[in-house]
Amino acid sequence: MSTSMPSEPGEQQENAPAVKKFMYVNRRAPYGTIYALESLEVVLITAAFEQDVSLVFIDDGIYQIKKGQDTGGIGMKNFSPTFRALEGYDVEKLYVEKESLQARGLSEDDLIVPVQVLSREELREFMDQQEVILTF
């Protein structure tokens, strides 16, 4: 039986899984398709595996985190409060594209979670730094 020495603090062990940078881009409205809810589930699964997760909202995806959603008329449960729980899963990197926000007449005050607003160009540069990008 072989024994191994404990690793130094901060040193990655040989068998430790590598941390990758995952970016999830939400482009679609929250209801009418399964994409928004599926994205949220995949984000939570990825975070459970302690990966570096960023969540971006562009185009109509911004409506996923808009305050005051009333889904009674469409007979679906409002899942937007779930976005507030992301912090408990160490998903704290939430971004909104400035141009998409402005095009919909919304501001950061209209959103249920704190976000960082990035211009389209800043977002493009940030995307270039990611290892895995999935769009919903």
Edge to edge, what strands does the sheet with 52-57 contain? Answer: 116-118, 93-97, 52-57, 21-26, 132-135
CATH code at position 115: 3.40.1260.10
End-to-end CA distance of the chain: 48
Express each pLDDT in 27-56 by its tens digit.
999 998 899 999 999 999 999 998 999 999
Q: Is the pLDDT of residue 4 over 50?
A: no
CA distance to 37, 100, 114, per residue, from 78 (Å): 10, 22, 19
7 assigned to some structural domain: no
Q: Residue 127: give the domain boundaries.
A: 21-135
8 assigned to some structural domain: no
Of these ranges, 15-24, 35-44, 54-63, the one predicted with the greatest mean pLDDT is 54-63
Which pLDDT value is given to residue 17? Answer: 73
Helix (H, G, I), strand (E, B) or coil at 109: helix
Q: What is the pTM of this model?
A: 0.83
**pLDDT (mean) for 66-83:** 86
How many CB atoms sit inside 10 A of residue 51's CB? 19
Express each pLDDT in 100-134 by its tens digit.
999 999 999 999 999 999 999 999 999 999 999 99
User: What is the spatial distance between Cα 99 and Cα 131, in angstroms, rounded to a whole number?
Assistant: 24
14 assigned to some structural domain: no
Beta carbons of 80 and 30 less than 8 angstroms apart: yes
88 assigned to some structural domain: yes
68 assigned to some structural domain: yes
If one counts the domains in the chain, the total is 1
CA distance to 31, 76, 77, per residue, from 72 (Å): 12, 7, 8
**pLDDT (mean) for 83-97:** 92
Q: What is the mean pLDDT of the chain?
A: 89
User: What is the spatial distance between Cα 15 and Cα 76, in angstroms, rounded to a whole number?
Assistant: 43
